[in-house]
Amino acid sequence: KFDSLDSSEYRQQIKTFRLKYVFLAAKIIKTARYVIMKLSENYPYKGVYEKCLV
């Protein structure tokens, strides 16, 4: 899924990557069939994060 990232996002250190995309505030909603992660509206990297998940 790294094809959708630009070069500045691709060449970052693992610590920066973890801070931006792994440790984030989100609400987890579990239903009978799905697990949904809702990101905050103010999350600055929301577009990049969603592009990589799809």
Distance CA 35, CA 33 (A): 7
Hey, which residues does 30 pair with through a beta bridge? 35
* Per-residue confidence band for 39, with pLDDT thresholds at 50, 70 and 90: confident
Q: What is the pTM of this model?
A: 0.47
CB atoms within 10 A of CB 52: 15
Per residue in 25-36, pLDDT (tens digit) is: 788 899 999 998
